[in-house]
Amino acid sequence: MSDEVLMHLSSNSNPSDSNLPIKIAKLEARMAGKATSSTPVQSTSSTWQSSSSVKFGRPEELSEPSTSSDSDNDNGEEFLIQANTQKRQRTQEDESKACQLSEACCCCFHIFIFLMTGTTDVKVKIAETAEVRLTTDGSSKSKQGRGRGRSGTGRGVDQRTMIHCVFLAVQHLQSTSSVEETPLLRDKVASLEEELNKSRQESIRQQQLCCQLEKELKDLKEHDRQMKMKRIKVLSDLLIAVSKAERQEARIKTQQESMRLGNVGVIRAGTIVSETWEDGQALKDINSHLRFLLETKEAIERHRKTLRKRQSDKGDGSDELVISEEDFLIQDEICKSRLASIKREEESSMRERDRYEVEKGRLIREMKRIRDEDGSRFNSFQILNNRYALMNLLGKGGFSEVYKAFDLVDYRYVACKLHGLNPQWSEEKKKSYIRHATREYDIHKTLVHPHIVRLWDIFEIDHDTFCTVLEYCNGKDLDAVLKATPILPEREARIIIVQIFQGLVYLNKRPQKIIHYDLKPGNVLFDEVGIAKLTDFGLSKIVEDDVGSQGVELTSQGAGTYWYLPPECFECSKTPLISSKVDVWSAGVILYQMLFGKRPFGHDQSQERILREATIVNARKVEFPSRPAVSNEVKELIRRCLTYNQVERPDVLTLAQDPYLSYAKK
């Protein structure tokens, strides 16, 4: 089939051809015996358009076209119109068929070219041809579509049209392929088949390779898993060995220390058994030496008295033991010198005894720790959550045990805080505890700052126990530091309070400010290089934005450690409103304690007595001891922190501006 033919068919079949009505009109006129020249195109068109409203005669009359040429005859005209209309319908049907055929041919041609050349724009043409057909013949397709209950202009028609075109094209190809085309096509098919075979083989090869790789991957994963298990085993064995050695060393040391410093003894009084402390040899020795010095001192004082008496009696001559003035002076000087020497010895022994007392305190804490460790259900080096290898107990709090542990995933030491719910507790109490701990976790997990202990993880161990995983702080806590050395040099105290305030500033610059509420030396930890970090957010309060400067309601009144809490926390008449100024007061107490070795208010009082005697409620003014001498700047800072009236006391951000807390060069 030539292009020309196709073009011809295509152009003839185009229903949008504007000359078509004229051609039809001419044809109709000729058939009706009318001169084409005398019939305006427009009038023919309007007659055709109004044909539906025309009254028709009998059907047999309709089939008999009139031969009359009289254009003025109405009946004849009616028949003429009917005949023309029927003809036009037939012509339209013919045109439509021609159109379809033309499109099919067009499609066939494009598909044929595509098959022969593989040119993609021809493929596009096929699609376009189908598309044109769809749009030009849209109404009839639409009707067909509706007849089948589907949208006539949808994709389905498009595809159906395409398939139809391809079908026609193939039919056409089958019918029109010339003898010369067949070998060409056969070659093409053969080469395509060859390619297909090759592709199939390649696909099989790739599949085999894929299987092989999958197997290798599986083996590698298994190997990796085994290696990981081995690594964990080796690592945990090592950790256990180290922990065991540390435990043994700690127990041996404690035994030796307790010989020197003392031990816990048991006293029975009837059926009541109580524990008491018995000093060790070193303390006994130092105490007896101090007693000896005291006795010596008293003896010397007695001797001096006698000398004075003998010297004063010399006038009456009654006593033979009267001494001369010079002898008296010499003897007295000997006594004074001896007393001074005893005093020095006494002071040194007292210092030594204080040191022993500190060591004794440490020993008692260590003994308690060992006892807690021995009694703990987590003391057998368990691996928690397949990740945290427990080592030794660091300490025990009110409701928790803190273990040093090793994180087998991130390869670092951590502190695992095991929160145990007492099985005897009521469900209500358990719920309250979990709520409290969850709150602490929710607050703490968002805090990322060098002066705040990080909270890494939380997980449940069993129904009554869960664990929080904290950054491990290798150093002591400030409480232990102050027990070992109750007074710190001002320089050391300053750098600690600066770090505490840096942590507090961070808590107060967040979108949701946080009041720590439980700042005390035990909640300031040190890492191995001595960086101070705040911990324990169990009593913390979140300050919502809308509370403004008034503060938040203190709903947990009674909690906390009273030495470190400001007067507003003891307000009884109404629910106190608190703010970050609570932490400012606590920081002031800590700073005072570091400098003077005691707390400014109620140092020797128990918690219960502080409450009963309203010690803090009456803590209106802070007094400074004369020794050790400290700078006026630090005294002023403490005064500001311990401002009695909450309204007048500066908040964290204001106080952090104090020049004493800045190391920037002026």
Q: Which residues bind ligand ATP (CB under 6 A)?
A: 394-395, 397-398, 400, 402, 415, 453, 470-473, 477, 522, 525, 535-536
Whether the Cβ atoms of residue 479 and residue 522 lie closer than 8 Å to each other: yes
- Alpha carbon distance 92, 99 (integer Å): 10
In the complex, residue closest to ligand ATP by CB:
397
Instruction: Tell me if 417 is assigned to a ligand binding site.
Output: yes
Residue whose entry in the numeric block shows the structure tokens 């700690």: 250
Q: Which residue in the list 137, 457, 477, 518 is annotated as catalytic?
A: 518
Distances 305 to 106, 302, 326, 632 between C-alpha atoms, Å: 144, 5, 16, 46
- Alpha carbon distance 588, 504 (integer Å): 13
Whether the Cβ atoms of residue 504 and residue 585 lie closer than 8 Å to each other: no
Whether the Cβ atoms of residue 504 and residue 583 lie closer than 8 Å to each other: yes
Closest to 475 measured CA to CA, from 406, 529, 398, 419: 529
Whether the Cβ atoms of residue 282 and residue 356 lie closer than 8 Å to each other: yes
Enclosing H/E stretch for 415: strand 412-420
Enclosing H/E stretch for 274: strand 272-279
Kindly provide the residue ranges of all beta strands, DSSP E only, lying in 50-179, ordered along the sequence.
none
Which residues are registered as beta bridge partners of 542? 514
- Please give the structure tokens belonging to residue 162: 């395409």
- Alpha carbon distance 420, 400 (integer Å): 6
Q: Residue 605 half-sphere exposure, CB side, CA atoms within 13 Å? A: 18
- Alpha carbon distance 298, 428 (integer Å): 65
- Alpha carbon distance 471, 413 (integer Å): 8
- Alpha carbon distance 510, 544 (integer Å): 11
- Alpha carbon distance 531, 499 (integer Å): 8
Phi, psi (degrees; rounded to nearest 5) at 314: -60, -25
CB 308, min distance to ligand ATP, A: 57
DSSP three-state, residue 536: coil
Q: Residue 484 half-sphere exposure, CB side, CA atoms within 13 Å? A: 9
Answer yes or no: 137 catalytic: no
- Which residue ranges are tagged as binding site for ATP? 417
**Residues with a known catalytic role:** 518
- Which residue ranges are tagged as binding site? 417
